[in-house]
Amino acid sequence: MSKMKDKLTFTLLTPHRKFTPMECDSVKLSIADSISGKFSGSYGIRKGHARAVLALAPGKISVSLDGQEIFSAESQGGFATVENNEVRVAADGVKENGIV
């Protein structure tokens, strides 16, 4: 029997940088419509989320811990996977807004 983690682990990878994994409570991503590839809305992920593969639209990535945003970046698109309380984002590029 596998033990469920208490938090999510968020990892961001771009062609030029691998960010240090972060422990968090939630991740919010800008996702793309499966047909047009254009922005279709924000998508929230919390502990226990079902396995998923998501196409990212250009837009904000937000990572929060204890109700506070700890990381924010503007993504140029890419994709994300969610599995076993791990959120992995492979972005075409990002402009980091900062770590609070």
Report field, pTM of the whole predicted structure over 0.75: yes
Contact 75, 43 (CB under 8 A): no
Amino acid at residue number 36: S
pLDDT tens digits along 20-45: 999 999 999 999 987 777 888 899 99
Within 1-100, residue ranges assigned H as helices are: none
Beta-ladder partners of 61: 73
Domains of the chain, by residue range, sit at 8-98
Residue 2's pLDDT band (cuts 50, 70, 90): very low
The whole-number pLDDT of residue 4 equals: 53
pLDDT tens digits along 58-69: 999 999 999 999
Helix, strand, or coil here: 66? coil
The whole-number pLDDT of residue 96 equals: 82
44: its two tokens: 């929230």
* CA separation for the pair 64, 47 (Å, rounded): 12
Selected from 3.10.20.520, 2.60.15.10, 3.90.950.10, 2.60.98.20, the CATH number assigned to the domain covering 8-98 reads: 2.60.15.10
CA 52, 58, 60, 63 dihedral sign is: positive
The whole-number pLDDT of residue 100 equals: 37
Beta-ladder partners of 90: 13, 79
Residue 75's pLDDT band (cuts 50, 70, 90): very high
